[in-house]
Amino acid sequence: MSESRPVPTGREIKLDKKKIIVSKTDMKGVILYGNDYFVEVSGYSEVELIGQPHNIIRHPDMPKAIFYLLWQTISQGKNITAVVKNLAKNGDHYWVVTDFESSRDSMGNITQYIAYRRPVPPQVLEVIEPLYAKILEVEKVHGMRASVEYLNSFLEEKRTNYNAYIAELAAPKGLTARLFAQMKKMFR
């Protein structure tokens, strides 16, 4: 983007646990659709969002390594759940657990990507925030290859991968899980 980015305020937006934030993109990550809550939380108008690359809401605290992993996974047609910190138009931020999925045409080709977001439980943030800060530090000094390696060795030590790690850490439970699954269906 050529325009200047919002300056982060450090203020967190309190998300409604009963709502999900949904957006759809083309194969390149250009926003095609956002539900009302996506528009509301972002602080942009729908017109400002549609047609923009999804990095319009990227927060500078997010390591590139996470997006590298995201694209590597979804471009192969696999789903991934990731914890993401996003930046609103006024510089405030919000943390979300995001399920990234793909839509396919009748031939099985991927046509769009969809992201379903819910608030990050505080106990998940306690683990993820320092982990991302560390990854970002490595990235700033040594670049993305090193930060991806750092993340991989962190996960290997735990004998897991990113998706399984996040799924275990942040899986919705009980009523929340059912509500989230139902809400996701409405946007398919």
Is residue 148 close enough to count as binding ligand FMN by CB under 6 A? no
Q: Other C-beta atoms within 10 Å of 66: how many?
A: 21
Calculate the alpha carbon distances from 83 to 10, 26, 50, 117, 130 in Å: 18, 21, 23, 9, 13
Of the pair 54, 150, the CB lying nearest ligand FMN is at 54
Is residue 132 close enough to count as binding ligand FMN by CB under 6 A? no
Is residue 121 close enough to count as binding ligand FMN by CB under 6 A? no
Of 58, 89, 134, 184, the residue at the interface with ligand FMN (CB under 6 A) is 58
Choose one: 43-51, 53-61, 119-127, 160-168; the region binding ligand FMN (CB under 6 A): 53-61
Footprint (CB under 6 A) of ligand FMN, residues 84-113: 84, 86, 100, 113
Of 41, 57, 83, 166, the residue at the interface with ligand FMN (CB under 6 A) is 57
- Contacts (Cβ under 8 Å, ≥6 apart) of 102: 74, 77, 79, 110, 111, 112, 113, 114
